[in-house]
Structure 1
């Protein structure tokens, strides 16, 4: 069996394994295996095939990791209205305490409201943006 055939089989196996596991990094390694196959088609030695496959696979994995870290993270699941029906509701804050919390009446009970980091505490109407444990994360309307 030709070297290139082995590289193509490895690339196909990595793609199939990626479909079973759902990790995107196996696709990057499959790119490395495909690069090894192309080098094998060109008639390069075994060492050159392995080096090219390793460099392309590693480069693809590092590139994908770098791109992923530059992207802003997905919003918290706790901040999605489809998961938590409290998100988007309005509450009235009469006064903020010195620790940055406020007691608000919401849904017939007293809740603790908190502000996001850096926000200035002001009394008035606030919108619930997220439920963090038993606390309402709110923002001024």
Structure 2
């Protein structure tokens, strides 16, 4: 069996594993394996094929890793999609004795909590942060 065939089989296996697990890094490894296959088609000896595969696959993984890290949101305590909720307004009809309230937001009931130091008064509030499944509110 030709070396290029082995490289393509390994590439296909990595792609299938990526589809089953959802690990984006396996796709980068698959790109490196494909580079090894292309090196085999170019007639390079097996050590050169391995070097080409390692350089492309490892480089792609490093670029992906450091690209994600550099693009960080700077928010460690909140979900990434919670930024869409910050600044929105909700109507609080009444506060419970434990300083929580049930508010309707985005078509469903949410538990709301007050920002420390705020007074529990009914009325219009602004979402400051999403903490787990609770909305942290501040009086407007």
TM-score band w.r.t. shorter chain: 0.5 to 0.7
Rounded Cα–Cα distance in structure 2 between residues aligned with 1:90 and 1:128: 11
Between the two proteins, the alignment pairs up a number of residues equal to 119
Distance 1:68 1:131, change over 3 A: closer
The answer for unaligned runs of 5 or more in structure 1 is 92-104, 116-120
Runs of 4+ in structure 1 off by over 6 angstroms are 121-124
Q: How does 1:116-135 map to 2 (within 5 A)?
A: 126-132=125-131
How many angstroms does 1:79 deviate by? 4.0
Q: How does 1:69-84 map to 2 (within 5 A)?
A: 69-73=69-73, 76=79, 79=82
Rounded Cα–Cα distance in structure 2 between residues aligned with 1:50 and 1:38: 11
Rounded Cα–Cα distance in structure 2 between residues aligned with 1:77 and 1:43: 47
User: TM-score, normalised to structure 1's length?
Assistant: 0.65
| Equivalent residue, structure 2, for 1:137 | 136
Rounded Cα–Cα distance in structure 2 between residues aligned with 1:138 and 1:53: 52
| Equivalent residue, structure 1, for 2:105 | none
How many angstroms does 1:78 deviate by? 9.0
User: TM-score, normalised to structure 2's length?
Assistant: 0.66
CA RMSD of aligned residues (A): 3.6
Rounded Cα–Cα distance in structure 2 between residues aligned with 1:62 and 1:81: 30
| Equivalent residue, structure 2, for 1:38 | 38
| Equivalent residue, structure 1, for 2:90 | 89
Q: 2:109 aligned with 1:108, yes or no?
A: no
